[in-house]
Chains A and B, each alone.
Chain A
């Protein structure tokens, strides 16, 4: 973010750390679209018959990849991509055994705390990506289990919406600029693989009784385009793969 601001401040370390983690995941996991989800079995036993699921605001950002590999955020693409993902979520969840409730920025109680939860999810999600999906980064205490949580604070979301679970979605999509495309072409001639645009994301289902993440999935793909409704639907479907609802 320091690039954007006329500032001399220290970089926001958390933001950089998160960006770094996501970048590392993207670089190391590469390849084609792939998902790999985690479930915590003990919590699933508590699953109500027809749970109410709160859809948190989808955290979507689309960017252009410059020749040199910088990401330039694009507001128009982001608006399109986000509305495509939202529409896909609506239609994909309609057939599930769940009642869907939409998060309302002005309707809930304590919007400051809720904003903090969204930020926390993006931090926890990046941490899970790093320590659960990347070989060599596994935490000794979490090696053979999946016990991540957004903490007790998440239970505050339960009241205003009467929801049992909350679904958090984080998606980033990027597209090579003309210069980058040329660079990829040149690279191919010289035998060097140059990274093009990427789609990366993760989703969590949080039990609002405990704040625990009971299901987590991540998506990494070189193809896809969230600007296209059908492709956005495909990406969302992949992301929701094995969602226990």
Chain B
């Protein structure tokens, strides 16, 4: 061994010692606690404060006071002591997702509120995210990433680069599995919060079951959502949560289906449209069925079922669309657009009498219809 090589190995050993900064024993954060400015945690907070500034002026954030108050109320019911440390931001996005930043910024996508069938299901998501905050998972993850990548560098040097490549893979793997461990931890703490604050913990497993059904019906099942790739396998998770929920009799019983349906009703149309625009019709159909079963306003949902068939336009979709629109019009709360879509489908099926009746109903119901001139032109063409 040359002396340069020996020296470099010695130096590499020194480097290894230097790089093995302690990840430390990270305690849960206390209510009202702020990191000291010299800490690495303060650096993470600083960066997330910037993100929060962006959020505060983002057009994607839903600012409706009632909806925000509703989400906050559930969060504060889950844990009154941490409630003041967390700011919730509802972000308009059709997918199922939520995130928790170390500085207390909780982002909830509208896709989650749409899919939660009741207060308890929404509480299970908020509780899970809050648990990430309480257990300082961002800080844990950052220190873990820092020390694993540091170690990977050491191996690369000490072995002349060969083992380093393998170590790199191992480091990546450890980051991912660490993350899943934290997800499990958050599931458990979240479920405890639900139980202790009066929510029925059995709803927690159900939301995952619903997601699995959606995924299985997806037009692109191979295109796994980001969600399923970083979280514990949904099936395992649902089963674990169901088991945990049954472990004790001392448990909450609030489900809150009616209230959730009422609070989200003004938004459901927009959010369903967001989801429909993703053009995953198989998934959309399952979601609609779930919401209908959950007792949400069915006129609106049946209208969207019709829209789904109309846009997909395969096989017998045309007739299925007409059937869905017709069912919607019989339910009392179908949007006026149902008649417009029904008119279009009847017309293209050659049934002009039915088409005319539908278009006329649409125009009567929608006095200020932006497309009035076009629909009137259709009516003329039919004569």
Contacts and interface: CB of A to CB of B under 8 A. Distances in A.
A183 B48 contact: no
A186 B8 contact: yes
A8 B226 contact: yes
Nearest to A113: B57
A45 interface: no
B101 A4 contact: yes
B99 A67 contact: no
A79 interface: yes
Contact of B100 (A3, A5, A66, A67): A5
Nearest to B41: A75
Interface string B15-52: 10011010000000000000101111011111110010
Nearest to B51: A1
A70 B21 CA distance: 14
Contacts of B39: 75
Interface in B37-80: 37-40, 42-48, 51, 53-54, 56-57
B4 interface: yes
A4 B21 contact: no
A74 B43 contact: yes
B48 A182 contact: no
Dominant secondary structure at the B interface: helix
A115 B99 CA distance: 23
B153 A6 contact: no
Given A72-B43, A73-B46, A116-B57, A6 B157 contact: no
A183 B47 contact: no
Contacts, number: 138
B138 interface: yes
Interface stretch (B144-152, B188-196, B203-211, B253-261): B144-152
Contact of A189 (B11, B129, B153, B226): B11
Interface bracket on B: 35 or more
B227 interface: yes
Interface in B95-145: 97-102, 107, 129, 132, 137-138, 141-142, 145
B12 interface: yes
B129 A6 contact: yes
Interface in A168-192: 177-179, 181-183, 185-186, 189-190
Contacts of B11: 182, 185-186, 189
B149 A68 contact: yes
Given A115-B53, A186-B8, A189-B7, A6 B100 contact: yes
B37 A75 contact: yes
A178 B14 CA distance: 10
Contacts of B12: 186
Interface in A49-81: 61, 63, 66-70, 72-76, 78-79
A139 interface: no
Contacts of B102: 4-5
Contacts of A145: none
9 nearest interchain CB pairs?
Answer: A7-B99, A68-B149, A75-B42, A179-B19, A73-B43, A182-B15, A112-B57, A67-B150, A179-B18
